[in-house]
Amino acid sequence: MVSVILIWVYMITTTFIVGYGVLRFLTRHFPYQVKHADAYLVCGLVCVTVYAQFFSLFAGVGLWANVILCAVCILIVWFEKKTLLETVRRWVLPAGADFLVIFAVFLLFAYGASRGQIHYDTGLYHAQSIRWIEEYGVVRGLGNLHCRLAYNSASFALSALYSMAFLGGQSYHCAAGWLAFVLAVVCLQIGKSLREGRLRTSDFARVMCVYYLVNLFDEMISPASDYFMVLLAFYIVIRFLDLLEEGEAAILPYGLLCVLGVFLMTVKLSAALILLLTIYPAARLLREKKWGETGAYLGMGIVTALPFFIRNIVISGWLVYPFTQMDFFDVAWKIPKGLADYDAKEIQVYGRGYTDVQQFELSMREWLPGWFRALAGSDKLLTLAAAAAVFALIVYAAGMVFGWWERRWELLLVQGTVAASFVFWLCTSPLIRYGCVWVYLAPAVVFGGILEAVLHSARIGSSTVKAGWAVSVAVVLLLAYKGFALGRETAGSFVDDYWLAQKDYENYETYAYEIEGVTFYCPTEGDRVGYEAFPSSPARAQIVFLGDGLKGGFVVK
């Protein structure tokens, strides 16, 4: 736990300083007053992750990557020390009791991130992917060693940057837990609405975020890209709704959230429909003819996505693996098209509850009933609620078009983005872990927005006030129940260990074999290896070296 706390302090320091420097530069050109401290942290998170991905194109992401990062932070502090210190004072000193609550949440999540359950896929390929980035950065044709190593995600570069493996101890995996902590602090802001007895649409999204954080608490030790995707999607939707509800007139915060949406796509490409949110700032920029600001956001989006696509090409030979529809590069190390197509089908059928790729041709009518029956009870209810929300949104949107009720086009855009993302997930690879954020957010944002609109448009009277308080009390009871469940589960799984060092990756028994004099590892049973046995693959690799040793890369034998 102590190791997690120390790494988190380092993460908070570096991401805050880098985020402050970037936002300070932007707000000089596009005036805006940052209203939430987490904006600096998330902005910094994106910047250091993009930096780590670019760095990985030239070398392993380890000591020197952190030395350069610290040097950049020192320069920012040196040139902006006066305003930076004032900003820190502005956020910390007035906090008072709130600061103590945040510190308690910090310790709670540091405890959770120091122990818990290691995700199955972490032993399968997450740990190996991160170790490749730590030691070599990016390697040509790495996906030929093991196709899952071609599942490139920006989150792996972030985990490698803050793993501290270069210190000679274990490779830590704290980044997902840190992001969960940031989201927990964002969710604390629901307290103000509960005290007022009036919940906004963003508050309903926060409720579902808390629900997810409780479920994630004993799993956030794993550096799974799914966790980063869900957490960032929650953040984007919540903060976008906050801006709309606060009547924010500046385009900058909306534009930056859309750049964060581009970053989300590099974490998990299946979340690409979040980019529908760009319609709002893009329409305003074009209407107001702010060409310079438009170019700035486009430039930031391109820089954010560029290293992800370059890494894809180097690792797999495909722009987006395993989707072969975009076949632009004829490189020696390209993963064979047949294997990539098979892998893409395997992902989809696995999400539908099958392990046999032959089931890929089944129609939705054939696989959907079995998939739904296999869901857990709460997931069934939430999926039904999400589906109902899609139909309700269609009716609600029609009512807005015909002027039956207040037209709130910006909110409708957020609701439509969430609903479309849910439908896309359901029709492609509907594994709950892949898209639970859309299952949770669709009913929260759609029905929450409709309820808020009804209460807001109703005549203010005792019945309206009572309805608002009734909803608030129901939310309090739900949050109290989930808090009690978390406490009971944490106490039940308590282990008097990991107080100093975080629980390490799980490692499995392997046997060694050689290819051209280089030792590789393979599991003696099952398909998981872990972190220590490196390099490895679930089965004997059929590869040939492109150059001299591991750095040169691989092609299929």
Residue 52 pLDDT exceeds 90: yes
Task: Tell me what pLDDT residue 99 has.
Answer: 81
The CA distances from residue 478 to 243, 483, 557, in Å, are 26, 9, 56
Choice between 269 and 547, residue whose per-residue pLDDT is larger = 269
Task: Tell me what pLDDT residue 327 has.
Answer: 84
Choice between 75 and 466, residue whose per-residue pLDDT is larger = 75
Q: What is the mean pLDDT of the chain?
A: 90
Per-residue pLDDT averaged across 120-147, rounded?
94
Backbone Cα Rg of the chain: 24
Q: What's the 3-state SS for 109-130?
A: HHHHHCCCCCCHHHHHHHHHHH
With 0-12 / 13-18 / 19 or more C-beta atoms within 10 angstroms meaning exposed / middle / buried, residue 362 is: middle
Flag the least confident range among 146-150, 252-256, 378-382, 404-408: 404-408
Task: Tell me what pLDDT residue 475 has.
Answer: 62
> pLDDT tens digits, residue range 192-246?
887 877 788 999 999 999 999 999 998 999 999 999 999 999 999 999 999 999 9
Residue 495 pLDDT exceeds 80: no
Task: Tell me what pLDDT residue 96 has.
Answer: 61
In 3D space, the residue among 224, 304, 308 whose CA is nearest the CA of residue 505 turns out to be 224
Residue 162 pLDDT exceeds 60: yes
| Nearest 10 degrees: Cα torsion 403, 236, 98, 49 | -170
Flag the least confident range among 45-59, 82-96, 414-428: 82-96
Flag the least confident range among 135-144, 224-233, 426-435: 426-435
Task: Tell me what pLDDT residue 457 has.
Answer: 65
Per-residue pLDDT averaged across 36-52, rounded?
96
At 515, give phi and psi (nearest 5°).
-130, 115
Choice between 310 and 493, residue whose per-residue pLDDT is larger = 310
Helix H or strand E encompassing 520: strand 518-523
pLDDT band (50, 70, 90) for residue 354: confident
Residue 303 pLDDT exceeds 70: yes
Q: Spell out the residues 6+ positions from residue 193 whose beta carbon is closer than 8 angstroms to its own.
A: 199, 200, 203, 472
Q: Spell out the residues 6+ positions from residue 370 whose beta carbon is closer than 8 angstroms to its own.
A: 353
Task: Tell me what pLDDT residue 361 has.
Answer: 84
Per-residue pLDDT averaged across 279-303, rounded?
95
Residue 477 pLDDT exceeds 70: no
Tell me which residue has tokens 């004099």. Answer: 517
Per-residue pLDDT averaged across 405-410, rounded?
82
Task: Tell me what pLDDT residue 387 has.
Answer: 96
Residue 489 pLDDT exceeds 70: no
Record the pTM.
Answer: 0.94
Cβ-contact 219, 112 below 8 angstroms: no
User: Is residue 294 classed as helix, strand or coil in its secondary structure?
Assistant: helix
Distance CA 468, CA 474 (A): 10
Task: Tell me what pLDDT residue 169 has.
Answer: 85
Per-residue pLDDT averaged across 122-133, rounded?
95
pLDDT band (50, 70, 90) for residue 468: low
pLDDT band (50, 70, 90) for residue 461: very low
Cβ-contact 322, 338 below 8 angstroms: no
